Amino acid sequence: MSHEHPSPNGILGHIQRWVFTTNHKDIGTLYLIFGFSMFFIAGFMSLMIRAQLVQPGMQLLDPATYNVVITMHGLTMIFGALMPILAGFANWQIPLAIGAPDMAFPRLNNWSFWLLPFAFTIAMSTLFVEGGGPNAGWTLYAPLSTNYGPPSMDYLIVSIHMLGISSILAAINIIATLLNCRTPGMSLMKMPIFAWSWMVTAFLLIAVMPVLAGTVTMMLTDRHFGTSFFNVAGGGDPLLFQHLFWFFGHPEVYILILPAFGIISEIVPTFSRKPLFGRTSMIYAIICIAVLSFVVWAHHMFTAGMLLSTMIFFMYTTMLVSVPTGIKVFNWVATMYKGALTFETPMLFAIGFISMFTLGGLTGLMLAIAPADFQYQDTYFVVGHFHYALVAGTLLSMFAGIYYWVPKWTGYYYSERLGKLHFWLSLISVNITFMPMHFLGLAGMPRRIPDYGLQFADFNAWCTLGAFMFGFAQLIFAYNMIQTMRGKGQKASGQVWEAAQGLEWSVESPAPYHTFTTPPQIKSET
Amino acid sequence: MPRTTYVVPPTYLPLIGCAALFCLAIGFVSWLHQLHYGPYLAITGFGLLLLMMFDWFRTVIHEVRAYQLDDDPVIDHSYRWSMGWFIFSEVMFFSVFFGTLFFIRVFILPYLSGAIPEGTMTHFILWPDFKNIWPLLKTPDPQAIAGPKAAMEAWGIPAFNTLVLLTSGVTITIAHWGIFKKKIKQAVLFQTLTILLGILFLYLQVQEYAEAYHHLGLTLGAGAYGNTFFMLTGFHGFHVTLGTLMLMVILYRMLKGHFTPKPFCI
Ligand code: HEM
Ligand SMILES: [Cu+2]
């Protein structure tokens, strides 16, 4: 019944192994490799954007192409890079963290992953469809995407449906695993915090991916079947699109940040050599953020037109989110307080995350204030805000997680020297890239434009400089990781990090193909 | 109490599933774009998807029976939970269309007719003769988008169909009890009855749609009323179709004696 480590022979054997695999570690690896490949593709697009904006005037892209590039950059980063990479962490770490032999539904797991390359083949093919790629921005606002959308929008819609199926199946799988496959004796409250963060994230995914699917379906019927959901002439409204999109969209940004919180909450205690401060409150904070995320969506629409009372409601709920978020930040800091800190690369990235993400949260708070947002909406200030949350937040946490767990995955340490170089270059260049955007926005530079007034020239040049530096730093990362995977580093023990706690460190490194086929014992404390 | 773990062998099924959805997606869009190969590709994809699902379920059922996996509470609970969460995702999908109906009736139409906020200019500037009367027979701009001639009468087919569905809930519960009480005849009889009710529902819905299109001028494109009517009832009908198919498979398995009174899920 049980299967030995597959020993593929020949090219065909290799392809079979990876395409037909039902092993959570294989699938985790596939997710990570796919995610980082898309990260480099979407990153290339962002460098095209920054090259265009290096100085006033038209250089690289014409305005129509520019719109296509920013649209595909956003969509690819969110659905192609960040979500799959986080799912890769989930696949690798959840069974290891809870002492399960695999995910609850290994076959389904394979399908969740392999839908992604197929969906992105369709999404990317839009760039070559007659009439140009989708150009409405990643938010796909009607009527830009309906009445005025190019034919390629239809391909994008069906690819979003496929991505939705993939995410929902993966999320159901993750929840089922977490609820049923924990090793005996591990109660929900004893479950590692990374697993907890994914439990809540999976819930969010199941709740909002169908909303996106339904919304793009209405877009499709508006485009081809004569409905007028987003057309006032027939009794619909483009505003309806915005409401539906952001009902999906705001929880979606928490889908991108909650697993990052989970990763950081694992790393900080290890390198502080102290248990996580306020573990229970951390769990409740995650749940609280998730619940609140359903009632804040209209903060994206303050200038779109709504009743004053509605505006006030969404303003206060949005500000409320910063309470549980603040709890998390304070707890991380309190974990480090008086700890025996060491600063290996994962810890550096974790500290980078905490400080940078806090900045993103603070600018979020500024945006939450409706009257102030009238000024900020659709300026570079918003771009600055969400890149602090997503790049200096989620992405840095992913690097932290990769450096933290890669010795467990491959059996080898990465090069600490290159890791630190990667960290400092990334941290500095992220700030050079995105900090000036806040000032540009406050000074009135609108977002989503290929050209700008002369007064914005200096700051934009800085942004571009930072962006290229950041891109370069990621090549160091890629090199470091390839070397580690090829076994060039120092050999890692099972424990890997001196003070790391948790079941995943009880197996040898690299983690064997099948782990915990009999459930492990957990220590009684914690 | 160590449990031995069943390791799921490598599988080609998901790959077929991906290829099927890929063909279906591309084919469907090509169809919309009037490319001649569109329909063929879409139908191939759809057929492939059905075959894949058939094979997938067959594999799972064989596996569960061969290794008695349904005795394993972990696996049993995983299947139950995942079905529950899948249904939750369906609820969210439908809530999009209910939410749309709500937003149209509570916000958009009152806005357009000048009711909220009081004294709004939208009404005077856009369509001053527009009145907010639901069902929306006269759209804000009838020249651009014509409304239906009449709305669907709630006390005709819709009321009867509701009754059909409610009854089918009763019959399937009786079938379920039949299995518990080892009365296989009762189970089979009421299962069959449930399937017939499902088919009756679908037949009547087709009649209803025909009437809507031919006599009432009520089409998918007939303004907000037609949009929401067909979107909601259409996706609902699609779910009834799938549900009826599943019930048929269950009936087949009942006849083969797959189900016993122990708590089961697969
Ligand atoms: C305390 C936490 C946060 C608050 C109060 C907050 C608030 C806001 C507000 C009010 C806006 C709308 C700005 C506008 O368009 O005028 C916004 C935009 C945005 N936020 Fe946040 N935010 C927070 C955290 C986050 C996090 C954690 C993420 C992602 C991981 C994120 C991602 C985004 C994105 C992507 C947008 C822009 C979407 C777009 O228009 O394209 N935010 N945020
Ligand atoms: Cu938001």
Q: Give me the pLDDT at residue B263, please.
A: 61
Residue B2 has pLDDT above 80, yes or no: no
Q: Give me the pLDDT at residue B182, please.
A: 87
Question: What pTM, to 2 d.p., does this model score?
Answer: 0.95
**In whole angstroms, what is the distance from residue A245 CA to residue A367 CA?**
19
**In whole angstroms, what is the distance from residue A191 CA to residue B37 CA?**
52
CA triplet A212, B83, B79: central angle to 5 degrees?
A: 135
* B74: confidence class by pLDDT, cuts 50, 70, 90: confident
A388 lines ligand 1 (CB under 6 A): no
CA triplet B70, B52, A26: central angle to 5 degrees?
A: 70
Three-state DSSP class for residue A379? strand
Task: Give every CB contact of residue B12 below 8 A, 6+ residues apart in sequence.
Answer: A19, A20
Greatest pairwise CA separation for chain B in angstroms: 75
Residue B34 has pLDDT above 70, yes or no: yes
Q: Give me the pLDDT at residue B264, please.
A: 56
Whether B78 and A181 lie within 8 Å, measured CB to CB: yes
- Closest residue (by CA) to atom 3 of ligand 1? A364
Dihedral Cα A484, A489, A490, A491, nearest 10 deg: 40
Q: What is the pLDDT of residues A408-448, one digit of tens each?
A: 999 999 999 999 999 999 999 999 999 999 999 999 999 99
Whether A180 and B81 lie within 8 Å, measured CB to CB: yes
Residue of B nearest to A160 (CA): B25
Least confident segment among A135-149, A275-289, A491-505, B65-79: B65-79
Residue A525 has pLDDT above 50, yes or no: no
> Cβ contacts (< 8 Å) between B15 and chain A: which residues?
19-20, 114
Residue of B nearest to A169 (CA): B86
Decide if A286 contacts A265 (C-beta within 8 A).
no
> Cβ contacts (< 8 Å) between B221 and chain A: which residues?
225-228, 234
Of all atoms in ligand 1, which is nearest to the CA of residue A393? 30
Residue B1 has pLDDT above 70, yes or no: no
Q: Give me the pLDDT at residue B116, please.
A: 80
> Cβ contacts (< 8 Å) between B96 and chain A: which residues?
210-211, 214-215, 218, 244
* A5: confidence class by pLDDT, cuts 50, 70, 90: low
**In whole angstroms, what is the distance from residue A288 CA to residue B36 CA?**
52
Q: Is A319 exposed, middle or buried (0-12, 13-18, 19+ CB in 10 A)?
A: middle
Among A352, A333, A379, which residue's Cα sits nearest to residue A260? A352
Mean pLDDT, range A277-281, rounded to an integer:
95
**In whole angstroms, what is the distance from residue A348 CA to residue B233 CA?**
55
Q: What is the pLDDT of residues A497-514, one digit of tens each?
A: 999 999 999 999 899 999
> Cβ contacts (< 8 Å) between B19 and chain A: which residues?
118
Please tell me the distance in Å from A339's CA to the nearest CA on chain B. 38
Cβ within 8 Å of B, A 97-136:
101-102, 104-108, 110-111, 114-115, 118, 121-122
- CB count within 10 Å of CB A253 equals 18
**In whole angstroms, what is the distance from residue A41 CA to residue A73 CA?**
8
Q: What is the pLDDT of residues B118-164, one digit of tens each?
A: 777 888 888 989 999 999 999 999 999 999 999 998 898 999 999 99
Mean pLDDT, range B159-179, rounded to an integer:
96
Q: What is the mean pLDDT of chain B?
A: 92
Residue B265 has pLDDT above 60, yes or no: no
Type of residue found at A186:
M
Mean pLDDT, range A69-88, rounded to an integer:
97
Kindly state the tokens that stand for A53: 């904006």
Q: Give me the pLDDT at residue A523, please.
A: 67
- Report the number of secondary-structure helices (H) and strands (E) in chain B: 8, 0
**In whole angstroms, what is the distance from residue B128 CA to residue A6 CA?**
73
Dihedral Cα A288, A290, A296, A301, nearest 10 deg: 150
Mean pLDDT, range A394-407, rounded to an integer:
97
Of all atoms in ligand 1, which is nearest to the CA of residue A365? 5
Q: What residues of A act catalytically?
A: 73, 102, 138, 166-167, 250, 252, 254, 265, 299-300, 325, 328, 447
A328 lines ligand 1 (CB under 6 A): no
Find the distance separating the first CA and the last CA of chain B, reported in whole Å: 24
Q: What is the pLDDT of residues A207-232, one digit of tens each?
A: 999 999 999 999 999 999 999 999 99
A97 lines ligand 1 (CB under 6 A): no
A257 lines ligand 1 (CB under 6 A): yes
Q: What is the pLDDT of residues A243-276, one digit of tens each?
A: 999 999 999 999 999 999 999 999 999 999 999 9
Backbone angles phi, psi at A512, to 5 degrees: -60, 160
* B67: confidence class by pLDDT, cuts 50, 70, 90: confident
CA of A174 relative to ligand 2 center, distance in Å: 25
Q: What is the pLDDT of residues A471-499, one digit of tens each?
A: 999 999 999 999 999 999 999 999 999 99
Could you write out the three-class secondary structure of A200-214?
A: HHHHHHHHHHHHHHH
Residue of B nearest to A245 (CA): B96
**Cβ of residue A5 closer than 8 Å to a chain B Cβ:** no
Which CATH code fits B68-255?
Answer: 1.20.120.80
Q: Give me the pLDDT at residue B4, please.
A: 59
Domain ranges of chain B: 11-66, 68-255
Decide if A21 contacts A102 (C-beta within 8 A).
no
- Return the higher-pLDDT residue of B65 and B243: B243
Kindly state the tokens that stand for B68: 């008695």
Name the region of A304 (left: φ>0; alpha: ψ -120 to 50; beta: rest): alpha
A285 lines ligand 1 (CB under 6 A): no
Three-state DSSP class for residue A158? helix
Q: What is the mean pLDDT of chain A?
A: 94
Kindly state the tokens that stand for A370: 């409706």
**In whole angstroms, what is the distance from residue A195 CA to residue A192 CA?**
5
Three-state DSSP class for residue B137? coil
Residue of B nearest to A519 (CA): B2
Among A131, A180, A137, A169, which residue's Cα sits nearest to residue A151? A131
Least confident segment among A3-7, A345-349, A370-374: A3-7
Backbone angles phi, psi at B136, to 5 degrees: -80, 90
Find the distance separating the first CA and the last CA of chain A, reported in whole Å: 35
Please tell me the distance in Å from A146's CA to the nearest CA on chain B. 14
Domain ranges of chain A: 23-506
**Cβ of residue A21 closer than 8 Å to a chain B Cβ:** yes
* A8: confidence class by pLDDT, cuts 50, 70, 90: low
**In whole angstroms, what is the distance from residue A400 CA to residue A264 CA?**
8
Decide if B3 contacts A519 (C-beta within 8 A).
yes
Query: Sign of the CA dihedral A475, A477, A479, A481?
Result: negative
**In whole angstroms, what is the distance from residue A385 CA to residue A434 CA?**
8
Selecting from B22, B108, B231 the residue whose C-beta is nearest the C-beta of A240 gives B108
Percent of chain B with pLDDT over 70: 97
Q: What is the pLDDT of residues A24-68, one digit of tens each?
A: 999 999 999 999 999 999 999 999 999 999 999 998 999 999 999
Mean pLDDT, range B153-182, rounded to an integer:
94
Please provide the size of chain B in residues. 266
Q: Give me the pLDDT at residue A524, please.
A: 53
Q: Give me the pLDDT at residue A342, please.
A: 96
CA of A301 relative to ligand 2 center, distance in Å: 10
Of all atoms in ligand 1, which is nearest to the CA of residue A303? 16
Runs of H (alpha helix) within A133-228: 152-180, 193-224
**In whole angstroms, what is the distance from residue B193 CA to residue A154 CA?**
41
A301 lines ligand 1 (CB under 6 A): no
Type of residue found at A500:
A
Task: Give every CB contact of residue B20 below 8 A, 6+ residues apart in sequence.
Answer: B45, B46, B48, B49, B51, B52
DSSP A385-447: HHHHHIIIIIIHHHHHHHHHHHHHHHSB---HHHHHHHHHHHHHHHHHHHHHHHHHHHTTPBS
Residue A2 has pLDDT above 90, yes or no: no
**In whole angstroms, what is the distance from residue B210 CA to residue A486 CA?**
65
**Buried (b) or exposed (e) across A65-81, using 16+ Cβ within 10 A?**
bbbbbbbbbbbbbbbbb
Least confident segment among A512-521, B27-36, B54-63, B254-263: B254-263
* Ion ligand 2 neighbours, Cβ < 5 Å: A 250
Mean pLDDT, range B202-211, rounded to an integer:
96
Whether B144 and A19 lie within 8 Å, measured CB to CB: no
Task: Give every CB contact of residue B23 below 8 A, 6+ residues apart in sequence.
Answer: B41, B42, B44, B45, B48
Per the listing, tokens 């790049």 go with: A391
Q: Give me the pLDDT at residue B65, please.
A: 85
Which CATH code fits A23-506?
Answer: 1.20.210.10
